[in-house]
Amino acid sequence: MIAVGPKGDISFTRQQWIEAQKKEKLVFKSLRPVPGNEFIRIYDGTTAVINLLINVNIVVDGQDINIKVRRLEVYHKTAGNWCRVAGQGTQVDENLFPVNSK
Protein backbone atom coordinates (compact mmCIF):
# COMPACT_ATOMS: atom_id res chain seq x y z
CA MET A 1 0.00 0.00 0.00
CA ILE A 2 1.10 3.53 -0.77
CA ALA A 3 -1.02 6.27 0.80
CA VAL A 4 -0.64 10.02 0.44
CA GLY A 5 -2.17 11.98 3.30
CA PRO A 6 -3.92 15.36 3.25
CA LYS A 7 -0.75 17.17 4.34
CA GLY A 8 1.34 15.54 1.60
CA ASP A 9 2.80 12.80 3.78
CA ILE A 10 3.42 9.45 2.14
CA SER A 11 3.12 6.05 3.81
CA PHE A 12 4.40 2.81 2.32
CA THR A 13 2.96 0.55 5.03
CA ARG A 14 -0.09 0.52 7.29
CA GLN A 15 2.18 1.13 10.31
CA GLN A 16 3.67 4.26 8.68
CA TRP A 17 0.12 5.50 8.00
CA ILE A 18 -0.86 4.96 11.65
CA GLU A 19 2.26 6.82 12.83
CA ALA A 20 1.44 9.76 10.52
CA GLN A 21 -2.06 9.98 12.07
CA LYS A 22 -0.56 10.02 15.57
CA LYS A 23 1.90 12.75 14.60
CA GLU A 24 -0.93 14.92 13.30
CA LYS A 25 -3.02 14.12 16.43
CA LEU A 26 -5.77 12.88 14.15
CA VAL A 27 -8.45 10.33 15.05
CA PHE A 28 -10.99 9.05 12.52
CA LYS A 29 -14.45 8.73 14.11
CA SER A 30 -16.44 7.79 11.00
CA LEU A 31 -16.15 7.47 7.23
CA ARG A 32 -19.36 7.24 5.19
CA PRO A 33 -19.49 7.11 1.38
CA VAL A 34 -21.90 9.64 -0.15
CA PRO A 35 -24.45 7.65 -2.19
CA GLY A 36 -24.31 8.29 -5.93
CA ASN A 37 -20.70 9.51 -5.76
CA GLU A 38 -18.90 6.18 -6.20
CA PHE A 39 -17.33 5.31 -9.53
CA ILE A 40 -15.59 1.97 -10.10
CA ARG A 41 -13.72 0.98 -13.24
CA ILE A 42 -12.23 -2.49 -13.64
CA TYR A 43 -9.53 -3.16 -16.23
CA ASP A 44 -8.70 -6.66 -17.48
CA GLY A 45 -10.34 -8.14 -14.37
CA THR A 46 -7.22 -7.51 -12.28
CA THR A 47 -7.03 -3.75 -11.73
CA ALA A 48 -9.71 -1.48 -10.27
CA VAL A 49 -9.71 2.31 -10.07
CA ILE A 50 -12.21 3.76 -7.61
CA ASN A 51 -13.27 7.39 -7.19
CA LEU A 52 -15.60 8.18 -4.32
CA LEU A 53 -16.80 10.97 -2.07
CA ILE A 54 -16.75 10.36 1.68
CA ASN A 55 -18.26 12.20 4.66
CA VAL A 56 -15.45 12.15 7.23
CA ASN A 57 -15.80 12.89 10.93
CA ILE A 58 -12.39 13.33 12.57
CA VAL A 59 -10.91 14.73 15.74
CA VAL A 60 -7.83 16.93 15.27
CA ASP A 61 -6.10 18.16 18.42
CA GLY A 62 -9.28 17.42 20.37
CA GLN A 63 -11.59 19.33 17.99
CA ASP A 64 -14.44 17.57 16.11
CA ILE A 65 -14.34 18.28 12.37
CA ASN A 66 -16.72 17.15 9.62
CA ILE A 67 -15.37 17.31 6.08
CA LYS A 68 -15.95 15.77 2.68
CA VAL A 69 -13.06 13.99 1.01
CA ARG A 70 -12.70 12.78 -2.57
CA ARG A 71 -10.75 9.53 -2.70
CA LEU A 72 -8.90 7.85 -5.52
CA GLU A 73 -7.96 4.26 -4.81
CA VAL A 74 -6.26 1.62 -6.94
CA TYR A 75 -6.68 -2.11 -6.30
CA HIS A 76 -4.92 -5.11 -7.83
CA LYS A 77 -6.39 -8.60 -7.85
CA THR A 78 -3.96 -11.40 -7.17
CA ALA A 79 -4.66 -15.00 -6.12
CA GLY A 80 -8.38 -14.18 -6.21
CA ASN A 81 -8.18 -11.33 -3.68
CA TRP A 82 -8.29 -7.54 -4.13
CA CYS A 83 -5.48 -5.56 -2.50
CA ARG A 84 -5.33 -1.75 -2.31
CA VAL A 85 -2.01 -0.67 -3.80
CA ALA A 86 -2.46 3.12 -3.76
CA GLY A 87 -4.82 5.73 -2.41
CA GLN A 88 -5.09 9.48 -1.99
CA GLY A 89 -7.71 11.76 -0.52
CA THR A 90 -8.34 15.45 -1.07
CA GLN A 91 -10.57 17.59 1.12
CA VAL A 92 -13.38 19.19 -0.88
CA ASP A 93 -13.62 22.98 -0.54
CA GLU A 94 -17.41 23.22 -0.40
CA ASN A 95 -17.27 27.01 -0.79
CA LEU A 96 -15.90 26.47 -4.29
CA PHE A 97 -17.48 23.08 -5.06
CA PRO A 98 -20.72 22.55 -3.08
CA VAL A 99 -21.64 18.90 -2.68
CA ASN A 100 -25.18 17.57 -2.64
CA SER A 101 -25.05 14.78 -0.03
CA LYS A 102 -28.63 13.58 -0.83
Is 97 part of a structural domain of the chain? no
CB 54 within 8 A of CB 69: yes
Q: What is the pLDDT along the chain (102 residues), one digit of tens a residue?
A: 677 766 677 777 888 877 877 777 778 899 999 999 999 999 999 999 999 999 999 888 889 999 999 999 999 999 999 999 988 888 898 888 887 755
Number of domains into which the chain is organized: 1
98 within domain boundaries: no
- Tell me, yes or no, whether 99 lies in a domain: no
Give me the domain span that covers residue 65. Answer: 2-91
Residue 51 lies in a domain: yes
Residue 6, in any domain of the structure:
yes
8 Å CB contact between 49 and 74: yes
Q: What is the pTM of this model?
A: 0.73
Assign residue 80 the CATH number of its domain.
3.10.450.50
Collapsing DSSP to helix, strand or coil, 32 comes out as strand
DSSP class of residue 44 equals T
In a domain? residue 86: yes
* pLDDT value, residue 52: 96
